[in-house]
């Protein structure tokens, strides 16, 4: 007597790996685990399970490029140079005449250009030292101001007010301006060198 042929059993649907009582809606594209509609999260056209979701999101997050940090090389010289000019403004910038008194550098002459440029340069150098976000721009600005101060002090020494001659104060201011320019040049070179070697955050301080 031939044996009875069993009817084929219906294929049992796959179940969610996290919720066995719920039918699977798909598989995780990263690990292949079965997922129900509650567990599956669509990410860039694929289903991702809760176990792999954090890793997928981390992989898709663009990395922030490192901020270029350069040493504060030259800042001290720049600050000191401009400070020398500001202190020299207390002294008489001319001999004889009305401009030979103290604080006469603040009168309307080339000395005023030199002292005002030194004050602006000192403020810019201090700001760049405390907040070095744009070191190359800071070096350019302070260097240009140092040149302006040097030229103005030299013009005052060579062309003092009427009925007077130049005093040592403009020469001191020229020395301070030269120190400030040297500091700005050193800072600019440090920025260029750091950019070439790809200095990262905190590498140079």
* pLDDT score, position 29: 86
CA-based torsion, 67, 70, 72, 77: positive or negative:
negative
Residues 107-133, mean pLDDT to the nearest whole number: 92
Which of the four pLDDT bands, split at 50, 70 and 90, describes residue 196? Answer: low
- The Cα 201–Cα 46 span in angstroms is 36
- The Cα 172–Cα 156 span in angstroms is 12
* pLDDT score, position 39: 86
pTM, to two decimals: 0.62
* pLDDT score, position 121: 96
* Domains located in the chain, CATH noted: 26-58 (no CATH), 75-196 (1.20.120)
Q: Which residue from 138, 162, 118 is spatially nearest to 72, judged by alpha carbons?
A: 138
């Amino acid at each position: 007597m031939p044996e009875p042929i069993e009817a084929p059993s219906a294929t049992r649907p796959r179940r969610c790996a996290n919720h066995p009582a719920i039918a699977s809606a798909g598989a995780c594209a990263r690990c292949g685990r079965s997922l129900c509609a509650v567990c599956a999260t669509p990410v860039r056209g694929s289903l991702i399970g809760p176990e792999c979701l954090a890793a997928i999101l981390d992989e898709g997050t663009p990395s922030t490029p490192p901020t270029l940090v350069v040493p504060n090389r030259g800042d001290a010289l720049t600050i000191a140079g401009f400070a020398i000019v500001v202190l020299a403004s207390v002294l008489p910038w001319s001999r004889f005449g009305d401009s030979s008194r103290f604080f006469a550098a603040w009168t309307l002459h080339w000395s005023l250009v030199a002292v005002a440029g030194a004050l602006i340069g000192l403020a810019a150098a201090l700001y760049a030292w405390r907040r070095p976000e744009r070191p190359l721009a800071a070096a350019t600005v302070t260097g240009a101001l140092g040149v302006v101060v040097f030229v103005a002090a030299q013009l005052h020494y060579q062309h003092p007010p009427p009925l007077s001659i130049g005093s040592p104060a403009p020469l001191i201011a020229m020395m301070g301006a030269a120190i400030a320019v040297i500091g700005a040049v050193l800072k600019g070179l440090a920025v260029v060198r750091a950019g070439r070697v790809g200095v990262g955050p905190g590498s140079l301080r």
